[in-house]
Amino acid sequence: MRLLFIGDIVGRAGRDQLVQRLPHLRRDWNLDFVIANAENAAGGFGITEAIAQDFIDAGCDCLTLGNHSWDQKEALVFIERQPRLLRPLNYPPGTPGRGANLFDARNGAKVLVMNVMGRIFMDPLDDPFAAVERELSACPLGMGCDASLIDVHAETTSEKYAMGHFCDGRASAVVGTHTHVPTADAQILPQGTAYQSDAGMTGDYDSVIGMDKDEPLRRFTTKIPGGRFEPALGPATLCGIGIEIDDRTGLAQAIAPVRLGGRLAQTVPPFWN
């Protein structure tokens, strides 16, 4: 099974890069399942229903969110009728939407996707490890699903690594999001779970984590806000992770970074060439 995870899509530059490239990637790489983190898609803050539909039409099977889930207030409503959009699993009971769902891949496999948010330097949500444990126990790999992926939207690499080891051998992949910088630690953990601390950002890297440089620089140097943060609009890089999953076990066989377009060094998974 071939799975592509796309890192945080930021603003119009990131949206355009995904919509233009993904249909070709699905065809050229014969992808079975595509997940994208879309919590920064609408002007850098949140997601709208129209944008979510554009991503699904382009070939995304599932969209995940994070700490900006509700920045566009319409998301509180349309998330209830959009099963492909996931918000963090460890929001308190009664929060609209769902944090995990089971999807059909193009090869007929059942894929469990979870979205969970860390607690270090983030909002103090419910315990992410307990939330993930409940879902893993309810839908075990090889019994309830053929493959599973957890998007860990968190600030610290320590919390992400801890989640990776917590899920090792019980999930196909654990992928970090939120910091918008692709890490160089793509690996398969000892028990067979693919892991990378951060998938990176799909957006303009001539920026401050996707935002036009002027306002962040002003705030860092003067501590005086001069306006809103606005997404940078230059050429975007699509960043993500390619994962090969064993159809028999549901565990990972290979993992490699994806970087296409924009400023960063280009790379594609060698096993998909």
Q: What ranges make up the beta strands (E) of 73-163? A: 85-86, 100-104, 110-117, 147-153
The count of residues in the chain is 273
CA distance readout (Å), 30 to 245, 259, 272: 14, 18, 9
Quote the CA–CA distance of 181 and 201 in Å, as a whole number: 6
Give Cβ neighbours of residue 237 (< 8 Å, ≥ 6 apart): 17, 200, 201, 202, 203, 204, 205, 259, 260, 261, 262, 263, 264
In the set 68, 153, 178, 180, the catalytic residue is: 68
Q: Is 153 a catalytic site residue? A: no
Quote the CA–CA distance of 235 and 93 in Å, as a whole number: 40
Quote the CA–CA distance of 259 and 265 in Å, as a whole number: 7
At residue 157, the 3 state secondary structure works out as: helix
For the beta carbon of residue 114, count every other beta carbon within 10 angstroms.
Answer: 28
Asked if residues 44 and 228 have their Cβ atoms less than 8 Å apart, the reply is no
Instruction: Give the pairing type, strands 194-196 and 187-188.
Output: antiparallel
Quote the CA–CA distance of 66 and 235 in Å, as a whole number: 24
At residue 89, the 3 state secondary structure works out as: coil
Quote the CA–CA distance of 87 and 54 in Å, as a whole number: 18
Residues labelled catalytic: 68
